[in-house]
Chain A
Amino acid sequence: MAETGGPQTQVRLQLTTRDRKLALPESLGPILVPSSLRRYALSTLVNNLLGTEKPIPLEFLINGSYLRTSVDDYLTAYGFSAETTLAVEYVRALVPPTHVASFEHDDWVSSVDVLSSSPSNARGDDNGHERILSSCFDGYLRIWNSSSQVLATSPSPSDGGHTSSVTSSKFLSPTKLVSSGLDRTVRVWKYRADGAEASGKVAPQLELYGHRGSVNSIAVHGHSNRILSASADHSVGVWSTSKSHAPEAPGNLLPSASARGSKRRKLDQSVTVPQRGPLSLLEAHTEAVSEAIFDSKEPTVGYSASWDHTVRTWDLVTSALVDTRTTSNALLSLTQLPELHLLAAGSSGKDVKLIDPRDAATTVSAMTLRGHYNAVVSLAKDPESEYGLISGSHDGTCRVWDVRSKRGGKDGMVGESIYTIERESAKGKGRIMAGEGVKVFGVCWDKALGIVSASEDKRVQINRGSGIVSQRSQTAA
Chain B
Amino acid sequence: NIDPESLLPKLPSPEELRPFPTTCGIIYRGHKGRVRSLSVDPSGLWLASGGDDGTVRVWQLDTGRQIWSVSLSSDEAVNVVRWRPGKDAFILAVAVGDHVYLCVPPICDPDLEGASLEVLDAGWGYSSSTSTTKLPLTWTRPSNKLSDNGVHALISLGHTAKTVSFHRRGDYFVTVCPAPSTPSSSAIAIHTLSKHLTQYPFRRRLKGGGPPQTAHFHPSKPILFVANQRSIRAYDLSRQSLLKILQPGARWISSFDIHPTSSAISGSDNLIAGSYDRRLLWHDLDLSPRPYKTLRYHQKAIRAVKFHPSGQYPLFADASDDGTVQVFHGEVVADMMSNARIVPLKVLKGHKVVGDLGVLDIDWHPVEPWIVSAGGDGTCRLWR
The contact sample of 7 A-B pairs, CB cut-off 8 A, is A164-B67, A182-B60, A252-B110, A307-B44, A375-B25, A434-B26, A439-B26
9 cross-chain pairs, A with B, having the tightest CB-CB distances, nearest first: A258-B110, A257-B110, A212-B109, A434-B24, A436-B27, A434-B27, A232-B45, A252-B111, A258-B113
Contact residues, A228-280 vs B (CB, 8 A):
232-233, 252-255, 257-261
Question: Is there a chain B Cβ closer than 8 Å to A328's Cβ?
Answer: yes
Residues of chain B in range 91-109 having any CB-CB distance to chain A below 8 Å: 106, 109
Check if A436 sits within 8 Å of B112, measured CB to CB: no
B27 contact set on A, CB distance < 8 A: 433-434, 436
Q: How far is the CA of A374 from the CA of B106 in the complex (A)?
A: 30
Check if B30 is an interface residue, CB within 8 A of chain A: no
Q: Which of B23, B62, B112 is close to A212, meaning CB atoms less than 8 Å apart?
A: B112
Contacts of B64 in A (CB 8 A): 439, 456
Whether B141 is near chain A, meaning CB under 8 Å from some CB there, is: no
Q: How many angstroms from the CA of A344 to the CA of B30 in the assembled complex?
A: 35
Classify chain B: how many residues form its interface, as a range: 20 to 34
Among candidates A108, A212, A394, residue contacting B26 with C-beta atoms closer than 8 Å = A394
Given contacts A253-B109, A374-B25, A433-B350, whether A258 and B114 have CB atoms under 8 Å apart is yes
B233 / chain A contacts, CB cutoff of 8 Å: none
Bound form: Cα–Cα A137–B66 in Å: 11
Interface size on A, residues (CB 8 A): 41
Contact mask B138-165 → A, CB, 8 Å, 1/0?
0000000000100000000000000000
Whether the pair A374, B114 counts as a contact (CB closer than 8 A) is no
The closest CB in chain A to the CB of B45 belongs to A232
- B381: CB under 8 A from chain A? yes
Max chain B C-beta neighbours (<10 A), residue from A184, A211, A255: A184
Cβ < 8 Å to A, chain B residues 7-41? 19, 23-27, 29
Bound together, the chains give a CA A137 to CA B67 distance in angstroms of: 10
Kindly state the separation between the CA atoms of A83 and B117 in the bound complex, as whole angstroms: 80
A202 at interface, CB cutoff 8 A: no
B43, B109, B370: which has the most chain A beta carbons within 10 Å?
Answer: B109
With a cutoff of 8 Å between Cβ atoms, the chain B residues found around residue A307 in the complex are 44, 368
- Name the interface residues of B47-68: CB closer than 8 Å to any CB of A: 60, 62-65, 67
Please tell me if B346 contacts chain A, counting CB pairs below 8 Å. no
Check A137–B45 contact: CB distance below 8 A. no
Nearest CB to that of B367 among chain A residues? A287
The answer on a CB contact under 8 Å between B367 and A213 is no
Contact (A213, B45) CB under 8 Å given A255-B110, A433-B24? yes
The answer to whether residues A441 and B63 also contact, given A394-B25, A433-B24 and a CB cut-off of 8 A, is: yes
Alpha-carbon distance A261/B25, docked complex (angstroms): 34
- Residue pair B109, A184 in contact (C-beta under 8 Å): yes
**Residue of chain B at shortest CB distance from A165:** B65
Indicate whether A179 reaches chain B with its CB closer than 8 angstroms: no
Partner of B110, one of A214, A233, A261: A261
Q: Which residue of A lies closest to B368 (CB)?
A: A330
Please determine whether B368 and A348 come into contact, CB atoms closer than 8 angstroms: yes
Do A373 and B109 touch (CB < 8 A)? Answer: no
A186 within 8 A of B: no
Q: How far is the CA of A233 from the CA of B117 in the complex (A)?
A: 20
Judge whether B341 is part of the interface by a CB distance below 8 angstroms.
no
In the complex the two chains form, what is the Cα distance from A23 to B166 in whole Å?
71
**Distance between Cα atoms of A258 and B110 in the complex (Å):** 5
A260, B62: Cβ atoms under 8 Å?
A: no
Q: Does B384 contact A348, Cβ atoms closer than 8 Å?
A: yes
Mark contacts of A275-298 with chain B using CB atoms, 8 A cut-off: 1 yes-contact digit, 0 otherwise.
Answer: 000000000000110000000000
Within 8 A of B (CB), among A404-461: 433-434, 436, 439, 441, 456
Report if A219 contacts B (CB, 8 A). no
A434 B25 Cβ-Cβ under 8 A: yes
In the complex the two chains form, is A108's CB within 8 Å of B65's CB? Answer: yes
B25 touches A348 (CB 8 A): yes
- One of B43, B106, B350, B370 near A260 (C-beta < 8 A): B106
* Interface 1/0 per residue, A207-232 and B, CB below 8 Å: 00001111000000000000000001
Instruction: Judge if A334 is at the interface, Cβ distance under 8 Å.
Output: no
Tell me if A332 counts as interface (CB < 8 A to partner B).
yes
Residues in A with CB closer than 8 Å to B148 are: 260
Q: In the complex, which residues 288-347 of chain B have their Cβ closer than 8 Å to any Cβ of chain A? A: none
Given the known inter-chain contacts A184-B109, A252-B110, A348-B368, please indicate yes or no for A332 contacting B62, CB distance below 8 A. Answer: yes
Tell me which residues across on chain B come within 8 A of A213, comparing CB atoms. 43, 45, 109
* Chain B residues within an 8 Å CB radius of A330: 368
* Nearest CB of A to B61, in Å: 10
Structural contact, B110 and A434, CB atoms closer than 8 A: no
**Cα of A328 to Cα of B18 in the assembled complex, Å:** 10
A261 to B109, CA, bound (A): 10
A residues 343-389 with Cβ under 8 Å of B?
Answer: 348-350, 373-375
